[in-house]
Chain A
């Protein structure tokens, strides 16, 4: 078992910048909740359940962003062979899956009173589920390969190819007939859902979008540090076995 470079990240103490970022993220999250419940008005047609929108869309955004970062990390690893890219790719997939599951479940809870069903095989929902399954398969692929070099190479290629599913999901509701609302950039006259947001709703939405992006960066930083630590322990195990 060999790694091209020793993991040199100091995992014993959390860097000051990460500590500050974590505190800022918590504050932003609390403010976002405040805006959702006390600033944004209640939507007249759907009622309180519409407030799910403010966290549902940012969750989906973070999922897409995380998988894009995995693509970039995959390219980075294939070009340089540096394992830090592999750690970023794996960490980003884990976060992407977490936020995608959030999107899926919150979407179901929103759909029940709005569409009168928990689930429908709508183009957006179907393609989104495929994305989620593809990235679960990414984790399973990694589990199945023992050699770190091979694992990182395969995962990089897989991460690049799997990303094709993300834009397909985004454009699914614009290209095919769908009951899922088109929030921004509606180009499909056949799309049945639509949304009109008041200025307060838009302020809240963009603040939540920003908060979730910061939350993603914070979680990614923590997760990459954990991956570095795991690599260091693997190196110690390899040394112990070789001795």
Chain B
């Protein structure tokens, strides 16, 4: 009986890839949420400013 199979490094590359997907996807989602919120705020600001303009008229 040989111990060679026990001494081999296991193939865990699938877990590593999944890990790095997490490391890349989560910051990207966070940045996307920042951009989405910024756009929403811009829309709100434009609406409020146009309302204020209309009231002045």
On A, residues with C-beta under 8 Å from B are 11, 33, 42-52, 55-56, 59, 94-95, 98-99, 101-102, 105-106, 109-110, 112-113, 215, 219, 222-223, 226, 229-230, 232-233, 236-237, 239-240, 243
Contacts and interface: CB of A to CB of B under 8 A. Distances in A.
Given A51-B16, A52-B19, A215-B27, A226 B37 contact: yes
30 contacts: A46-B9, A47-B10, A47-B11, A48-B15, A50-B12, A51-B19, A52-B15, A55-B20, A55-B23, A56-B19, A98-B26, A98-B27, A102-B23, A102-B26, A105-B22, A105-B26, A106-B23, A215-B27, A219-B30, A226-B37, A226-B38, A229-B41, A230-B41, A233-B41, A236-B44, A236-B49, A236-B52, A237-B48, A239-B52, A243-B55
Given A55-B19, A102-B26, A240-B48, A47 B38 contact: no
A230 B15 contact: no
A109 B19 contact: yes
A224 to B, nearest CB: 11
Contacts of A47: 9-13
Contacts of A98: 26-27, 29-30
